[in-house]
Homo-oligomer: A and B are copies of this chain.
Amino acid sequence: MKPQPASTVTIRDVAQAAGVHVSTVSRALNPDKRGLISAEVLKVVEEAARKLGYRPNRAASALRTGRTHTIGVLVPDITNPVFPPILQGIEASAAARGYFVFVTNVVDPTLARPIVERMLAQRVDGLVLAIATRDDPLVDYIAKAGMQAVLVNRADESGRLPAVVSDDRLAMKLAVDHLVSLGHRRIGHLAGPQNVPTGVGRRQGVEQALRDRGLELACVEACEGYSREAGRVAMQKLLEGHERPEAVVCCNDLVALGAYDVLRAHGIRVPQDISITGHNDMPLVDMVNPPLTTIRLPHRELGWRAAEMLFEGIEGRVLSSFTVVLRPELVVRESTRDLAGEP
């Protein structure tokens, strides 16, 4: 049987060409052990390896050492513009350390478990979880399996897994404070799904920020998901079930755009008749009509930091901090109106 193409150069070929033992080659080519090798031998080996185009077989090394130099990432939907920058951050960190990243799109949350199991079989060195379902038995499973893992964009309430998140409460406080400063009082909320941490966190953030200003949430509807369609449905319900608010804080940009759709259909103008805020500052929301006032998150850094934490864990260092909270920032555009200004 000949599984590898004949062209494949192994460590044995290099050893032979260099006139040394394979173990010497192994040492010479391992940065950590290079010191054990005499300068001349080192040179000969490197020369031979170069000339033969030797490329260590990672599968063999993985089998021997148990380390694959590979991590897995679970994302709910790559197509959601929140995730590409996160992925980019993760990949940049991984690439800098010579790791590869398996990206999986977890369409259905129930698929997460089998995917993690396959990752386990693949012997990934660690996992970044960007999927957002709450109270996951998955966390249990991962913790029990002794896998290295970091959550991103979502904290682990059980405190067993490190996480990198954006400060959702602060984000909503920024939005609410902005609206209040513009003179708005009757403020509603289009909340995220209440079974994911960001959904409840942001809702609580809105409520708290309002309370801090001596106000109450005028009305609220929870969306089925973080999509434009879900935003449409929720906004429709909000209009039907409640007195119309002066402003609506939306759990994310897509939902805000869904709200735009419904408002336009009803002839309600943004921001003249109602102010709207989003969350994420996804690409092109500065180009929509009207340009959306929203909250910008450091998505790329979220991913980068998560990966860095993961590698700390993989390399056995003590994690410098268990939950990293990054700061969001308000981006004011034209979907919010100053009630004190001209009408």
Q: Which A residues are within 8 Å of any B CB, using their own CB?
A: 3-5, 7, 55-60, 62-70, 72, 78-79, 81, 83-85, 87-88, 91-92, 95, 98, 100-105, 115, 117-123, 145-146, 257, 260, 282-285, 287-289
- B88 x A105 contact (CB < 8 A): yes
Name the distance in Å between A109's Cβ and chain B's nearest Cβ.
15
Instruction: Give the chain B neighbours of A98 by CB distance below 8 A.
Output: 118
- B5 x A146 contact (CB < 8 A): yes
Which label, helix, strand, loop or mixed, suits the secondary structure of the A interface? mixed
Q: Which residue of B lies closest to A111 (CB)?
A: B95
- B78 x A81 contact (CB < 8 A): no
Q: Which residue of B lies closest to A83 (CB)?
A: B84
Q: What separation, in Å, do the CA atoms of A84 and B83 have in the docked complex?
A: 9
Q: What separation, in Å, do the CA atoms of A12 and B83 have in the docked complex?
A: 41
Q: What separation, in Å, do the CA atoms of A79 and B86 have in the docked complex?
A: 9
Name the distance in Å between A229's Cβ and chain B's nearest Cβ.
13
Q: What separation, in Å, do the CA atoms of A3 and B125 have in the docked complex?
A: 12
Contact A55 B105, CB 8 Å, known A5-B146, A79-B84, A287-B260: no
- State the copy count for this chain: 2
Contact A3 B66, CB 8 Å, known A57-B121, A102-B101, A122-B100: yes
Beyond the given A59-B68, A101-B104, A287-B289, please list 6 additional residue pairs across the A-B interface where CB-CB is below 8 A: A3-B67, A55-B117, A58-B122, A79-B85, A91-B105, A284-B285
Instruction: Give the chain B neighbours of A123 by CB distance below 8 A.
Output: 57-59
Instruction: Give the chain B neighbours of A287 by CB distance below 8 A.
Output: 257, 260, 284, 287-289
Instruction: Give the chain B neighbours of A288 by CB distance below 8 A.
Output: 284, 287-289
Interface hub of A66, A100, A123 (most chain B Cβ within 10 A): A100
- A63 x B55 contact (CB < 8 A): no
Interface hub of A59, A72, A122 (most chain B Cβ within 10 A): A59
Instruction: Give the chain B neighbours of A58 by CB distance below 8 A.
Output: 121-123
